[in-house]
Amino acid sequence: MQEPVIVLIPLYKSTLAEIEKYSLDFSLRALTGRKVQFIAPENIERAYYLENYPDIPFSFFENHYFESITGYNRLLLADDFYQRFDAYDFILILQTDAIVLRDDLDVWMSKPFDYIGAPWPDGNELFVNLGRFEGEFGKRVKVYVGNGGLSLRRVKKCLSLLNEFPVAVSVFLNTGSSEDLFFSYMGALSADFIIPNEITASLFSMELKPAYYYQVNGGIVPMGGHAWWKYDVAFWKAFLPPAALLDDLI
């Protein structure tokens, strides 16, 4: 029987920094009742996680996927990754520098979007010159949504996008380029992949310029955020009690 969603937490080191643990613990409380798994290299030292998170199982992948950002990008562009979780309609990627403030997953899963991540306020631009868009059919694409650190992905549609643009997948795999940019750029060019606009995306997650998006989206705090202590931490602290503890961690 198909299940709605699984929360996947990527790990690559034997322990978490205190601010990462704070973020993860806060997120897990918000996501109480959801299926959760760690994804990690086969050789990870697990003692810390078994002690602190004994109820969260592991799903292991080859070590090289976690040895660099390039390797991680390749993992999230691999058919095998999504096929392993094809019993679920959606994957929520929750990196340890992301935080979930509340569980709005049922709302977002009911919407037509196939991929949702925090918006990029200045956008990212690329001239796509490969596959169907090669030569005279090349296309300049500018995208504003897609940060993968806290992202909701419809499993079957992500697999379909990988199969729709095999040449682009090959280029991204060879270069180790950011996997979230693949889904954003190629999703924008797909005949059948839906990504929200940046204001809608800001209701799901924020990273860069959160105060700006809070202003332009009508004063709505998102479901969560990525790299929240790196960009405008004062914004996030207003929604993350206790402030005294955060002062010690950041």
Give the pLDDT confidence of 181-222 residue by residue, as tens digits: 999 999 999 999 999 999 999 999 999 999 999 999 999 999
Distance, in Å, from the CA atom of 200 to the CA atom of 233, rounded to the nearest integer, reads: 22
Average pLDDT over the chain reads 95
pLDDT of residue 128: 96
Looking up residue 173, the CATH number of its domain turns out to be 3.90.550
Buried residues in 10-41 as b, exposed as e (16+ CB within 10 A): bbbeeebeebbbbbbebbbebbeeebbebbbb
Q: Tell me: the pLDDT tens digits for 67-103?
A: 999 999 999 999 999 999 999 999 999 999 999 999 9
Per-residue pLDDT, averaged over 133-155, amounts to: 97
Whether pLDDT at 244 is above 80: no
How many folded domains does the chain comprise? 1
Give 100-116 pLDDT, tens digit per residue.
Answer: 999 999 999 999 999 99
- Domain hosting residue 148, numbered range: 3-249
